[in-house]
A = this chain, B = another copy of it.
Amino acid sequence: MQKTLDFFRENDQYAKHSGIELLEVKAGWARVKMTIQPFHLNGAGTVHGGALFTLADYAFAAAANSRGRLALAINISMSFVKAAYDGVLYGEAEELSLNHHLGTYQVKIVDDKQRLIALFNGTAYRKNEPLIGDE
């Protein structure tokens, strides 16, 4: 798990650019955090759907890749439940199913009062190659 964690922390440029931290990875599970900053906002002054998505997607990618094989997002759906304005957001990815070629994951984004902000469901395709080339 430490390798997956390190890999994502070092190599996910857009997550870095978006100020998102990967807090923890376990088998089929991951947790991320984003402290809301002015650059996260949309024209309505709330956190941009793209920033919420990136937060959720990062947790999804870490959880899906925690299994050792390279896992790529095929498709996702996301529901925006409540606007977020400031403070801290957390995303927690949970594995709903895993078979040879596919994994499905759900990510809940909550604010620091544990209110649901958005719900993300993603499917990943699992390649035969490992995530990290030299393993």
Contacts and interface: CB of A to CB of B under 8 A. Distances in A.
Contact of A123 (B12, B79, B116): B79
A1 interface: no
A11 interface: yes
A128 to B, nearest CB: 11
Number of copies: 4
Contacts of A79: 74-75, 96-97, 104, 121, 123
Interface residues of A, number: 54
Contacts of A83: 72
A57 interface: yes
B104 A76 contact: no
A125 to B, nearest CB: 7
A76 B40 CA distance: 19
Interface of A: 7-8, 10-18, 38-44, 48-51, 53-55, 57-58, 61, 70, 72-83, 96-97, 99, 101-102, 104, 106, 116, 119, 121, 123, 125, 131
